[in-house]
Structure 1
Amino acid sequence: MSYSPFSIEVPEAVLDDLRARLAGTRFTTRSGDRPWCAGVDPDYLRELVAYWHTGFDWRAAEARLNAYPQHRVTIGGRKLHFLLVRAVRPAGAPARLPLLLSHGWPSSFVEMLPLVDRLTDPARFGADPADAFDVVVPSLPGFGFSEVPAGPVTRAALARTLHELMTDVLGHQRYGAFGGDVGGVVTGWLGALYPDRVAGIHMIHPPFPASFDARPLSAAEQAYLDADAAYDETDGGYSAIMGTRPDTLAAALADSPAGLAAWLVDKYRDWTDNRGDLANSVDRDTLLTIVTLYWVTGTIGSSFRQYLDFEHNTPRPDITVPAAFTVSTEPSMAGFPGRSPSGPAPTSGTGVSRAGADTSCHWRSRTCSPASCGSSSAACARSRRGGGAGPIRGPAPPLFPSPVLPRLGPESRETGLHLHPVEVGP
C-alpha cells in the first residue's frame, strides 16, 4: 500500500481570519476569588490570546513541524496522517525494532517530537548512536490531518487502523508501541489483538482489570477507588459534555479560537506536572502550536468522537506481550509507589495494594520511566474513560534494549507530559 509525502501549508486567508477573531475576543470575568478555581483563569487567557495574536509565529512553527518527514495514506477509506522518521545510525549497525508513538486528547503528534528526536538520533543527546530507532507517529483518526472514521471510533478500531499502518503500509513484521491517554488505551489494544506482531508496549495510563469480582477489595483498594471517583466529580465535566453533547460544544469552539484555547489549556494545566504554573510544563509556543493545529484543521469536533462512541467499546482481551507502565501525575494516581521531584515520596499503605494490582498486571520489582522504557514494571491505574479491560499476563522481559530516553523534565517540557519513575514491589 503506497503513501504520499505531506507538508503543512496553512493558507494565509485562514491565518488572517484567525487573527481577526483573536483581535475581537470578548473575555469573561473570574467566577471565584482565586485564579483557576473555576476553570481557565480569564487573566491568563487574556495574556495568552494577546500573545497568540501579536507574538506567536505560526509560519516558524509550521517550518519546524515540516522538518519532520510527514505522509498521508488511505486506510479504511479515510486519510491518515503520520510522521515516519528514520533512525540516524552508523553504517552497518543493525536495525532496531520500529516504534509506534500514539498521542491522546487534547494532544497531538507535536507532543511526541522531543521523543522522536531522542529515539531516532540518540547521539545528539550523548547516547550510543547504535541505539537509534525508526519511529512512526500518527495523528489519531479525527485529529489534525487525519480524517475521522466512518464507523464508531472505538479503541479497537483505532488499534486496527494503526496496526494496518505499521504492517500493511510500512511493512514491519514486528514493532513496539508506546502511548498515553487514548493513545495508551489503543496501545493496550494493540498488544492484546496482535501479540504475534507487537513485541511489547509501554503506556502512561495503565488499565484496571475489567472486573474486581475475583476477590473482595481491601480497605486501601476501596479507598483508592472512592478517591478516584471523587476526583472525577470535580474533573469529569469535560468528558461528560464531550460524550453527550459534542456537537453543541464543538459549534462554540470551532467559531472562537479563544474558547478553543480555554478548553484545551484547562486540561493541560490540570494534567501536567506544572506546580501551579503551566509554563513549567508547556511553553507558550508549543501550546499554541497544538491549539493552532486544532483550529486550522477544524478537528476539535471530530476529536470528541471517541467520547461520543465510548459505549461502543467492548472489554479488551488479555494482554500477553511484555508491558511497562509509567504512572502519570494526575491527582488520582498520587498514592501509587514512586517519587515526584515536586513532592515527597508517598507514605506506605496508600494506593492500590500489591494483591489488587496482581489481578491486572504481571509484576516485576523494577523501575519504569522514560529513562528506562526498556525495563519492565507495572503499576495499575485507570486510564481516563478507559473502559473495561482484561488482565495483563505473561513474562515481562525488557521491551527495548539500551533505552535512550531521559525523563521528561524542564529540558523537554514542550511534550506537555512529565513522567516520573515508579518503583514496583518490595
Structure 2
Amino acid sequence: MWRQLLEEGRSAINDHWPRCLLIPVAVGLGGALLCWKLHGQKTKSIELGEGWWGPGEKPHSHGEDTRVRPFVIEASEADIEDLHARLDDTRFFLPLEDSRFHYGFNSTHLKKVISYWRNAYDWKKQVKILNKYPHFKTTIEGLDIHFIHVKPSHLTPGQKVYPILMVHGWPGSFYEFYHIIPLLTDPGNHDLDPNIAFEVICPSIPGYGFSGASSKKGFNAFAAARIFYKLMLRLGFHDFYLQGGDWGSRITCILSQMRPESVKGLHLNFVLLPTGRLGRLKSLLLGRYAPWLVGLTREDVRRIYPYMEKNVFAILRETGYLHIQATKPDTIGSALNDSPAGLAAYILEKFSTWTDSSFREEEDGGLNRKFSLDDLLTNVMIYWVTGSIASSMRFYKEGFTRNYNHTPDTKVGVSVPAGIAAFPCEMVHAPRVWARQKFHNIISYTYLPRGGHFAAFEEPELLARDIQNFVSKVEKK
C-alpha cells in the first residue's frame, strides 16, 4: 500500500510541482513512512492462540469450569513412608578423592544430605510453611493450574496496590518466592518503600509441582504464557506487572508480546537473547579492547570476558542437562522419578553451580552459603510428591525446537516498559546495549552486587528493592 502511494505521489510531483519542492516533499513522505513503520513495530504483538492440553478431545457439551478453588497441600503418611524406604535403600557409589563438585554432585556430601533428609527433615513441618500462603487451583485449557495468591495485610487509606505475576523456572518452583513475598506485600515492615506494595500471584508452570501436566505434545512457553494471561483475567486483573527468571523470563516476555496493552511493566532477572546476531559478535570482538565503541560498560567487560576466556568449556559443562532434556527427557525422567537420592543430586547440583560457578571448588558445593537444607529439600519434595520431574523436563523438549531462533517471539520486540536486574553470578550476562535489541523500552537496568541464577531464593531483598525501583519509575512516567 505504502509503495503504491509513494509511486503515485512521485508521479504527481513530476507532472505538476516545481522541482525545488521535490526534496522537502520527499523528506516529508519519508518521515511519514518512518513514523508509520516505528508505530507498527511498537504495536506488533504475538497471536494469543488457543489450546487444549487435557486428555482426549476438548469437550463441546459444556464450557470450561472457571471456578477458582481453594487448595491445601497435604503430607500423607504413605508418601513419607515410601520416601523413607527408598532413602534407606539408596545405593551409593565409590567417591573420588578431591573431586569436590567438578564431577557433579559430590557423592560423599550426598550421603550427608540423604542422612539429613531421612532422619532430620520434617516434611509435615514444611507443609505447614507451604500452606501459610493461600493456595488455589483453577482449570484452564484442560489443565488444573495451581497458584498462590497473596494480598497485602497492612495498607494505609488510599494506598495503591500493584498486581504482579511472578513465574519460576527449572528446577525451581513457586517456593522460590516464599522469602520475597513478604517484602513485596508488606514492604513497610521490611525496611522497603511502604508506598509500593504488591498483590502477588505465583503460579506453578503446567507440568511442574501441583499444576497438571499436559497430556499432549507441544506444550511450550507460548501455551504457558497464554494460560497465565487467562489466569490473570480470571482473577479480575486486566493490567498488571510481570516478573520472571529462567523459564519464567521467557514466559513473561512472551505474555508481554501477546498482550502488551495488559502488561504495565516487565521485570526480569534473567535475559536470554537469540543467538547468531552479527552485531553482538562485533560487540564481543571490539568490546574487550574498546568497549566504549560498542556501548559496553566496564562492568559488562568484567562480567563477560573472564567467563569467555577462562571457561569456554564451562558452556558445555553447564549445559549437559539441557541437551538431555531437550532431546530425551523421559529417559532420565524415569530414573529421577524412581529415586529420591538421584532426584536430589540432579536438582541440588544446579543450586550449587548456578548460584556461583566457583562453588564447584567446595566439598559441599557451597549449598549452605545461600540456602538452608530445609529450603532446598522442600523444593525437591515438591517435585517428588507430585511425580513431576519428567513433565517439567519436557518443557525443554517442546521449547528448544529446530527453529528456536526463528520463533514468533524473536521476530517481535518487547515494547512494554522493562526492568532488568543483572546479578553478577548469573550464567549469562546481557549488557544493556544487547538487551535493547529486544527490549525497546528499558526503564531500569541494575548491576546487582551479588547473587546468581535463583535471585528470589538467594537475594530476596536485593530483588525486591529492584522491583520496587522499576515500578516506581514506570508509575512516574
TM interval, short-chain normalised: 0.7 to 0.9
d(CA) in 1 for partners of 2:190, 2:280? 48
Aligned partners of 1:93 and 1:130 also within 8 Å: no
| 1:44-94 CA distance string (max 9 Å, x none) | 110000000000000000001111100000000110000011112335333
Report deviation, 1:25: 0.9
- Which residue of structure 2 aligns with residue 145 of structure 1? 210
d(CA) in 2 for partners of 1:57, 1:256? 19
- Which residue of structure 1 aligns with residue 388 of structure 2? 299
Aligned partners of 1:122 and 1:131 also within 8 Å: yes
Report deviation, 1:326: 1.4
d(CA) in 1 for partners of 2:183, 2:280? 43
Inter-CA distance 95–21: structure 2 relative to 1 (3 Å threshold): same
- Which residue of structure 1 aligns with residue 398 of structure 2? 309
d(CA) in 2 for partners of 1:361, 1:242? 28
Inter-CA distance 215–179: structure 2 relative to 1 (3 Å threshold): closer
Amino acid corresponding to residue 359 of structure 1 in structure 2:
Q
- Which residue of structure 2 aligns with residue 100 of structure 1? 165
Inter-CA distance 332–107: structure 2 relative to 1 (3 Å threshold): closer
Q: Structure 2 stretches of 5 or more lacking a match?
A: 1-65, 289-303, 360-365, 449-462
- Which residue of structure 1 aligns with residue 103 of structure 2? 38
- Which residue of structure 2 aligns with residue 177 of structure 1? 242
Q: Structure 1 stretches of 5 or more lacking a match?
A: 337-351, 377-395, 402-426
Report deviation, 1:166: 0.6
Scaled by the length of structure 2, the TM-score of the pair is: 0.71
Amino acid corresponding to residue 256 of structure 2 in structure 1:
G
Aligned partners of 1:322 and 1:397 also within 8 Å: no
d(CA) in 2 for partners of 1:365, 1:138? 25
Q: How does 1:179-258 map to 2 (within 5 A)?
A: 179-209=244-274, 212-213=277-278, 217-218=282-283, 219-220=285-286, 230-258=313-341
| 1:222-250 CA distance string (max 9 Å, x none) | 98696686432111111111121211111
Report deviation, 1:323: 0.6
| 1:194-245 CA distance string (max 9 Å, x none) | 1100101111111324652468623056986966864321111111111212
Aligned partners of 1:79 and 1:147 also within 8 Å: yes
Inter-CA distance 170–28: structure 2 relative to 1 (3 Å threshold): same
Aligned partners of 1:177 and 1:201 also within 8 Å: yes
Aligned partners of 1:254 and 1:300 also within 8 Å: yes
d(CA) in 2 for partners of 1:58, 1:231? 35
- Which residue of structure 1 aligns with residue 223 of structure 2? 157
Aligned partners of 1:327 and 1:333 also within 8 Å: no
Report deviation, 1:137: 0.5
Report deviation, 1:111: 0.8
Q: How does 1:332-371 map to 2 (within 5 A)?
A: 332-333=427-428, 356-362=434-440, 367=446, 370=463, 371=465
Q: How does 1:58-137 map to 2 (within 5 A)?
A: 58-90=123-155, 92-137=157-202
Residue aligned with 1:114, SS? coil
Residue aligned with 2:92, SS? coil
Report deviation, 1:375: 4.0
Amino acid corresponding to residue 181 of structure 1 in structure 2:
D
Amino acid corresponding to residue 382 of structure 2 in structure 1:
L
Inter-CA distance 221–32: structure 2 relative to 1 (3 Å threshold): farther
d(CA) in 2 for partners of 1:131, 1:318? 28
Report deviation, 1:115: 1.3
- RMSD of the TM alignment (CA)? 2.6
Inter-CA distance 7–212: structure 2 relative to 1 (3 Å threshold): same
Amino acid corresponding to residue 106 of structure 1 in structure 2:
P
Report deviation, 1:135: 0.6
Residue aligned with 2:202, SS? strand
Inter-CA distance 374–229: structure 2 relative to 1 (3 Å threshold): farther
| 1:328-374 CA distance string (max 9 Å, x none) | 3446447x7xxxxxxxxxxxxxxx6x655543444567536522224
Which structure: larger Rg?
2
Report deviation, 1:315: 3.7
Report deviation, 1:171: 1.1
Larger proportion of helix: 2
Which of 221-230 and 208-217 deviates more? 221-230
Amino acid corresponding to residue 88 of structure 1 in structure 2:
S
